[in-house]
A and B are shown apart, each in its own frame.
Chain A
Amino acid sequence: MLEIKCPYCGNRSQNEFAYGGDATVKRPELNSEISDQDWDHFVYYRKNPRGNHLELWHHISGCRQWFKVLRNTATHDIIQTMEMKENP
């Protein structure tokens, strides 16, 4: 069982959260020149690291806020959790 520290509610069980994937993926800017490759990378391609991974989680059965988690994909250790506007 992961114990995830929601930045708003504190430590809660994994059961209360939904996963939102890689937090470093950025949607291409609106109204700018966008190549097909940029879109491919936004939609499909992921760095998929073994080690620290910055990712999105949603406290879906709690305060319903999205936030960021820095977690190790090899050990499942959670290093840091933060609000969306923050960075590790």
Chain B
Amino acid sequence: MKKYSVFSLVKNALNHHKDWEVAWRDPEPKKEYEAVIIGGGGHGLATAYYLAKYYDLKNIAILEKGWIGGGNVGRNTTILRSNYMHDANNLFYEQGMQMWRDLSQELNYNVMYSPRGILNLAHSDAQLNAYARRGNSMRLNGIDAALLGREEVRKMIPFADFTENARFPIFGGLLQPIGGTARHDAVAWGYARAADDMGVDIIQHCEVSGFDVDNGKVTGVQTSKGNIKTNKVGLCVAGSTSILAEKLNMTLPIEAHVLQACVSEPVKPLLDGVVTFGAGHFYCSQSDKGEMVMGGDLDGYNSYAQRGNLPTIQHVLTEGVALFPNLSRLKILRTWGGIMDMSMDGSPIIDKTHIDGVYLNCGWCYGGFKATPVSGLTFAHTIARNEPHELNVPFKLDRFHTGHLIDEKGLGTKTWIS
């Protein structure tokens, strides 16, 4: 792989950009691999990359039914944060935040990591108290957090509704200064290029239709490009997890739901970091192109459609306008949807399964993007060593049996009903 640098940019510019090498190959699948990762999204690509880099597996394939970066890794709102309350989530996502810092150097690909801060707004004294508690929990785990009062918030977002008439007045907020955004497509492409460079075969337009299991051990996968032998299979298929799990006679504590997001027309710089509305479910950041990137609630019914309906968009944007009245003057440029693998406690699952050699990475709910590096690292460890990394021990599947749920919101099952 030729390294990207300012010199390669100048050199190729002088050549009218005719000599750039392809970022990754387009190979035909081999007959056999040491490990097969199903799903060429962020988590699958990162898993293959760390398997090759740290765990000495060289013969790895990624099977992607569409094209890489076409699923949730290209559909999210690019937010990075680790502002959780429970230790399991805090430690896991904070490891991810540390990995984001030098990911561009690590991959030799600019992922446009931009730690501009994430601010969760509080709209009552009780909510501000809850945020103080969460901030303390973060700080106990070594994660910086600051509790802001109304006037401090006003300095950061003076265009929010600070009038007497605000239906949900802003009392303050919890700021994670290191929170921010990264360019989601670049994350997929960067991992793909770096994994390919280490010999990982990225096989696109290759759908898995079944598994070969012998005596409780996986021996291969059946695909639209023929059968492939392997003793290790990692599932990184987000919204499609239940469909593949069914082929392994597994039922999972997961439902597929559509989550929509949207962007406005581009405007001049207005909003620096990420802001979340605390009296509903709305969040907003501004992309480098100037678009306001906004999202909120699930549509609320089981869906594999990758598209949603307007009532939810209207509901979310009503909250947006309640927070930032000036948004009402903007036009919406695009809306889109992705399929969330909603787990029953709102936390992910990274674990082995009842079939030897089949590993599960799912249940990311609203927040898979920020976990991309740490999910890849811990899942690679789980696959290579056949046991969880210390960071994903709590994210076991059997927590739904033992009762050790990681229920961040304290809502119990059916987290989407909130």
Contact = CB atoms under 8 A, between A and B. Distances in A.
Interface of A: 1-2, 13-15, 19, 21-22, 36-37, 40-41, 43-50, 53, 55, 71, 73-76
Given A40-B401, A44-B413, A73-B256, A19 B301 contact: yes
Contacts of A73: 256, 302-305
Interface in B299-319: 300-305, 309-311
Interface of B: 240, 242-243, 246, 251-256, 300-305, 309-311, 344, 400-401, 413-414
Contacts of A53: 302
28 contacts: A1-B309, A1-B311, A15-B311, A19-B301, A21-B414, A22-B255, A37-B401, A43-B344, A43-B400, A44-B253, A44-B344, A44-B400, A44-B413, A46-B252, A46-B254, A46-B255, A47-B242, A47-B246, A47-B251, A48-B252, A50-B243, A55-B301, A71-B301, A73-B256, A73-B303, A73-B305, A74-B305, A76-B303
Interface of A is mostly: mixed
Nearest to B341: A48
B255 A1 contact: no
B413 A43 contact: yes
Contacts of B251: 41, 45-47
Contacts of A55: 301-302
Q: Could you say which of B242, B252, B301, B400 has the most chain A C-beta atoms within 10 Å of its C-beta? A: B301
Contacts of B303: 73, 76
A74 B304 contact: yes
Contacts of B252: 45-46, 48
What 3 pairs between A and B have smallest CB-CB spacing?
A44-B253, A48-B242, A50-B304
Given A19-B300, A47-B251, 18 more contacts: A1-B310, A19-B301, A40-B400, A40-B401, A45-B252, A46-B252, A46-B253, A47-B246, A48-B252, A48-B256, A48-B302, A50-B256, A73-B256, A73-B303, A74-B304, A74-B305, A75-B305, A76-B309
A53 B243 CA distance: 14
Given A14-B311, A48-B242, A76 B255 contact: no
Nearest to A50: B304
Nearest to A13: B311
Nearest to B242: A48
Q: Could you say which of A1, A48, A71, A75 has the most chain B C-beta atoms within 10 Å of its C-beta? A: A48
B242 to A, nearest CB: 4
Nearest to A71: B301
A50 B240 CA distance: 9
B168 to A, nearest CB: 21
A3 to B, nearest CB: 11
Contacts of B242: 46-50
B214 to A, nearest CB: 25
A27 to B, nearest CB: 13
A44 B398 CA distance: 11
Nearest to B252: A45
Nearest to B398: A40
Nearest to A14: B311
A45 B249 CA distance: 13
B247 to A, nearest CB: 12
Nearest to B399: A44
A74 B253 CA distance: 20
Q: Could you say which of A2, A36, A44, A50 has the most chain B C-beta atoms within 10 Å of its C-beta? A: A44
Contacts of A45: 251-253, 400
Contacts of B344: 43-44
Nearest to B240: A50
B46 to A, nearest CB: 25
A43 B414 CA distance: 9
Contacts of A1: 309-311
A50 B244 CA distance: 11
B360 to A, nearest CB: 14
A36 B39 CA distance: 33
Contacts of B256: 48, 50, 73
